[in-house]
A and B are shown apart, each in its own frame.
Chain A
């Protein structure tokens, strides 16, 4: 696949106008802002205190007092979802940061050098891809102990080859272009060219991949927390809430329904946002997933 990513001649205003016409972008952006706002608000206010256990209020069905009901300790589910959003966002965000921080330099370096370096780096990528990510994440958290930090590392490691691959593919398409030739003729080093010319031109690709990995990170974190290897109680996390709900499906199905919907809506929002950004900034790029 060849990618032609032209340096946009469009102004910021015209991009903004396009963004307002793009349905995916608008819905995705609205959902993402809502989830982030929810997480931020939880620092200063939640409907109920999530650290206080009110046993007399346990497994109450949704009502006007508790919109999403209460859990087996009498904690308000809505409040827990709000606080849990922090954990999901933090884990996914840092994991994307790790993936980009290591993967992008590796990928652009491989593309710039070519030859043996490129081959070796890409084979290393294949190696990481050969391990089913979830299984390896479980192994990593099992070795270093469960917890949010280790979950971040486990998910982050698997983001590295993804970003390396995307950065390399993007960079390879940029290198044969005329303006790169001009920069080389001007005597710039490969590193300078990579940073000054290649990176800005693959930023869109990376941004789109970033939102996808962010969404996948939230799913992965939920999975790890669900099997007890992610965030530890009493820190509320969406996956952990689902684990607690599992044995109480008959008496308190709302304990499972609402945290799950929080995950679905957040991931959906991020995916729509990614689609939207891809459409707006680069209509010709077709996302591969």
Chain B
């Protein structure tokens, strides 16, 4: 077990180091001189050169990389060229929008998908299952930003129940803030719920064919108890994998959705930073997302190994 954990951890760290190199290298070849961008077109070559030196842009590549990684480790991400504030402050501020958004979406998707999966699996092949899986098939095909537009049209333009976009900030009270996150969360969650429901259904069907389910039924346990207590628990492994992957996907999915709803979150920040060549911000956020993906996958993998010892040897 310890050996497995160590190996898994080593792989995660190696992936992280490689990923940081890739991010750094990609942004090195990104055209556009940040010093020139900051000073504007009227600045002289000397001024630009001076600022490049101040910003450490003229140091050797390896040194700059090490400096950057060292900064990341101590949560010092550097200063944004365009906002002239520490990147960590920007990230913290925007996280307050993106993280709740992704979490609400994840919760919504789970709340919708698991009961649908249970329902479908227990009525396998019957009309209810066909309808539910037809809906899931449709849900998988829906692009979340289009779904978002339709939601805006229905709930904000027609029914005027929620704002069409923007974010009042948590300072304006929890309810108004939550209200403006509701539509984006639904838009993010529903296509994900469709995928999750399909996975949950097939995992449950597989488990329901196992001998111990027949034994549980044979000893007189009611079907409902078997379904919830025995089947669902054992079907959780594939479901958890997808959930882990989806969290990363949801964080990234916020990039487009935040642009649809004009939400001041991480996604909108990174998108603006790319168009404004604000490299430090882009680097930091990409790395942050990569760390999140790797960490979530590590946690999911390790928790399987704890739950199910048979999985330890497998790839």
- In the complex, B152 has a CB within 8 A of chain A: yes
- In the complex, A272 has a CB within 8 A of chain B: yes
**Binary flags per residue of B1-45, CB closer than 8 Å to A gives 1, else 0:** 000000000010011101100100010011100000000000000
Q: Complex Cα distance A162/B141, Å?
A: 19
Q: What chain B residues lie within 8 Å of A215 (beta carbons)?
A: 141
Q: Contact between A130 and B30 (Cβ–Cβ < 8 Å)?
A: no
- In the complex, B252 has a CB within 8 A of chain A: yes
Q: Complex Cα distance A143/B254, Å?
A: 21
- In the complex, B182 has a CB within 8 A of chain A: no
Q: Contact between B143 and A219 (Cβ–Cβ < 8 Å)?
A: yes
Q: Contact between B15 and A260 (Cβ–Cβ < 8 Å)?
A: no
**Binary flags per residue of B134-147, CB closer than 8 Å to A gives 1, else 0:** 00011011110110
- In the complex, A142 has a CB within 8 A of chain B: yes
Q: Contact between A249 and B157 (Cβ–Cβ < 8 Å)?
A: yes
Please report which residues of chain B, range 114-137, place their CB below 8 angstroms from some CB of chain A when the two chains form the complex: 137
Instruction: Find B249's partner among A123, A132, A263 (CB 8 Å cutoff).
Output: A132
Main secondary structure of the interface of A (DSSP, over half): helix
Q: What chain A residues lie within 8 Å of B142 (beta carbons)?
A: 264
Please report which residues of chain A, range 213-265, place their CB below 8 angstroms from some CB of chain B when the two chains form the complex: 215, 219, 222-223, 226-227, 242, 245-246, 249-250, 253, 256-257, 259-260, 263-265
Q: Complex Cα distance A286/B204, Å?
A: 13
- In the complex, A177 has a CB within 8 A of chain B: no
Q: What chain B residues lie within 8 Å of A259 (beta carbons)?
A: 146
B18, B30, B140: which has the most chain A beta carbons within 10 Å?
A: B140
User: Within the complex, what minimum Cβ distance (angstroms) separates B93 from chain A?
Assistant: 19
Q: What chain B residues lie within 8 Å of A249 (beta carbons)?
A: 149, 152-153, 157
- In the complex, A186 has a CB within 8 A of chain B: no
Q: Contact between B195 and A242 (Cβ–Cβ < 8 Å)?
A: no
User: Within the complex, what minimum Cβ distance (angstroms) separates A203 from chain B?
Assistant: 23
Main secondary structure of the interface of B (DSSP, over half): helix
Q: Whose C-beta in chain A lies nearest to the C-beta of B259?
A: A227
- In the complex, A198 has a CB within 8 A of chain B: no
- In the complex, A127 has a CB within 8 A of chain B: yes
Q: Contact between A131 and B19 (Cβ–Cβ < 8 Å)?
A: yes
Instruction: Find B143's partner among A122, A143, A222, A271 (CB 8 Å cutoff).
Output: A222
Q: Contact between B294 and A271 (Cβ–Cβ < 8 Å)?
A: no
In the complex with contacts A127-B15, A138-B271, A256-B149, A267-B141 CB distance below 8 A = yes
User: Within the complex, what minimum Cβ distance (angstroms) separates B266 from chain A?
Assistant: 10
Q: What chain B residues lie within 8 Å of A55 (beta carbons)?
A: none
- In the complex, A135 has a CB within 8 A of chain B: yes
**Binary flags per residue of A102-144, CB closer than 8 Å to B gives 1, else 0:** 0000000000000000000011001101111111101100110
Q: Contact between B15 and A131 (Cβ–Cβ < 8 Å)?
A: no
Give the size of the chain A interface in residues (CB under 8 angstroms). 41
Q: What chain B residues lie within 8 Å of A286 (beta carbons)?
A: 202
In the complex with contacts A127-B18, A134-B256, A135-B289, A242-B149 CB distance below 8 A = yes
User: Within the complex, what minimum Cβ distance (angstroms) separates B27 from chain A?
Assistant: 8
Q: Contact between A227 and B256 (Cβ–Cβ < 8 Å)?
A: yes
A126, A127, A129, A130: which has the most chain B beta carbons within 10 Å?
A: A130
User: Within the complex, what minimum Cβ distance (angstroms) separates A205 from chain B?
Assistant: 17
Q: Complex Cα distance A72/B116, Å?
A: 41
Q: Complex Cα distance A138/B266, Å?
A: 14
Q: Contact between B143 and A123 (Cβ–Cβ < 8 Å)?
A: no
In the complex with contacts A126-B11, A127-B15, A227-B256, A264-B157 CB distance below 8 A = no
Instruction: Find A135's partner among B11, B143, B145, B286 (CB 8 Å cutoff).
Output: B286
Q: Complex Cα distance A131/B251, Å?
A: 11
- In the complex, B177 has a CB within 8 A of chain A: no
Query: Which 4 A/B pairs are nearest by Cβ-Cβ distance?
Result: A132-B252, A260-B146, A267-B141, A268-B141
The residues of B with any CB-CB pair to A shorter than 8 Å are 11, 14-16, 18-19, 22, 26, 29-31, 137-138, 140-143, 145-146, 149-150, 152-153, 157, 195, 198-199, 202, 248-249, 251-253, 255-256, 259-260, 270-271, 274-275, 282, 286, 289-290, 293-294, 297, 315
